Amino acid sequence: MTGLSWTTFRLSLRAPFRTAAGEVTERHGLVLRLATDAGLVGLGEASPHPAVGLAALREVEAALGQVAPRVIGADAACLDTLCASLPPALACAIDVAACDALARARGVSVAGLLSQRVRTEVPVNATIGAERADDAAREAAAHRAGFRCVKLKVGLASDVAEERERVAAVRDALGPEIVLRLDANGAWDPERAIRTIQTLEPYNLELVEQPVPAGDLDGLRRVQQAVATPIAADETITGLEAAQRVLELCAARVLVVKPMVVGGLRPARKIIEIAVRAGVSVVVTTTIDAGIGVAAALHLAATLPEDSPACGLATGSFLADDIVARPVAPRGGVMALPDGPGLGIELDEVALSRYAVSHGEVRS
């Protein structure tokens, strides 16, 4: 690497997005550019989880300023040790930018760099926030024509009866043919999770994501043992060791992998590999990332087996605007890999300057 530069940004959402973990109204992130001696530039994005937001981004920017001199002169293929000690979102940005540069140099897609087996299209789900039953049903009806799978955020209802009312309304709006999954974002204790999921199982649920808090691995295992519906570990999956522990305990039948949370594409691929060997399905999702993060997650999702569940990548429409020229977007419930080497996307420099907050640069 011969140089790197970064720009922090702030993007507003079209409308507030509510989950059991809180309400999101804007996304703070950082665009990273890694320059190589061949004149290529790899792009990466660090958008810390919305729950930690601006404070985490400041931590990312400070860490980047410290680590930047060590990145200069490093081989793009050998950044694992360096990234291991960094905040996950920053490690992700560096890893994605390095993968983008490597793939561009080799004339292949990032997906092709990560795996020999690559899908050209990835099924994706629509996502409905923790809205009231009637609002959630209207949104579900609007998704029927465009998606084959819908995820409903749950966990804010005052009791099981209210939760059932919301799920019943959404299932009725979707009809029986659309796949429905739920995401509790860790809102329940194990007993309530078991009671709620068993009550909701007649609505034909594909899976339930993170029914208990991220750190309650035993509770997650108890829920999976008690219910017929597959449980997906989401916030629990913070890296390879966490994923290995979930698999060892048979605590979930699905792993949700977020590159922004686990430190990049190559660490995420390691999680996918051990899950596939264990016969456990993987869902790749974003954290309402901007266009670079979504494209990177799409390339990762393209390396999943053909029979994998739909991935949570259709979040670009939550943003009022984006920082890439042609954001990847779903059509007919799938997202196609962009053409061209690397990530296959380009920055919209005008848009980035519009939403920029700060800049930094280091050269050799």
If asked whether residues 143 and 160 sit together in one domain, one would say yes
Q: What's the number of domains the chain is made of? A: 2
For tokens 């196609």, name the residue: 336
pLDDT at residue 87 in the model:
94
Cα dihedral sign, 248-254-258-261: negative
Amino acid at 127: T
342 inside domain? no
Cβ atoms within 10 Å of 79's Cβ, excluding its own: 23
Active-site positions read 153, 258
If asked whether residues 50 and 197 sit together in one domain, one would say no
190 inside domain? yes
343 inside domain? no
Cβ atoms within 10 Å of 359's Cβ, excluding its own: 11
If asked whether residues 352 and 262 sit together in one domain, one would say no
CATH number reported for the structural domain that contains residue 208 in this entry: 3.20.20.120
- Contact by Cβ (8 Å): 297, 284: yes
If asked whether residues 183 and 83 sit together in one domain, one would say no
Cβ atoms within 10 Å of 22's Cβ, excluding its own: 11
Contacts 24+ apart (CB under 8 A), 34-38: 34/1, 34/3, 34/4, 34/71, 34/76, 34/94, 34/97, 34/98, 34/100, 34/101, 35/1, 35/2, 35/3, 35/4, 35/5, 36/1, 36/2, 36/76, 36/101, 36/105, 37/2, 38/105
If asked whether residues 84 and 196 sit together in one domain, one would say no
If asked whether residues 265 and 199 sit together in one domain, one would say yes
Q: How would you class 122 by CB atoms within 10 Å of its CB: exposed for 0-12, middle for 13-18, buried for 19 or more?
A: buried
Cβ atoms within 10 Å of 340's Cβ, excluding its own: 13
If asked whether residues 92 and 164 sit together in one domain, one would say no
pLDDT at residue 225 in the model:
99
If asked whether residues 210 and 261 sit together in one domain, one would say yes
If asked whether residues 84 and 195 sit together in one domain, one would say no
- Below-70 pLDDT ranges, the chain: 53
pLDDT at residue 185 in the model:
96
Q: What is the per-residue pLDDT across 303-336, written as a single tens digit (0 to 9) for each?
A: 999 999 999 999 999 999 999 999 999 999 999 9
If asked whether residues 54 and 136 sit together in one domain, one would say no
**What is the number of alpha carbons within 13 Å of residue 122 lying toward its C-beta?**
31
If asked whether residues 89 and 196 sit together in one domain, one would say no
Q: What is the per-residue pLDDT across 264-292, written as a single tens digit (0 to 9) for each?
A: 999 999 999 999 999 999 999 998 999 99
200 inside domain? yes
d(CA 313, CA 328): 9
158 inside domain? yes
pLDDT at residue 83 in the model:
85
- Contact by Cβ (8 Å): 17, 129: yes
If asked whether residues 155 and 31 sit together in one domain, one would say no
Domain carrying residue 280: 114-336
Q: What is the token pair recorded at 277? A: 């060997």
d(CA 300, CA 293): 11
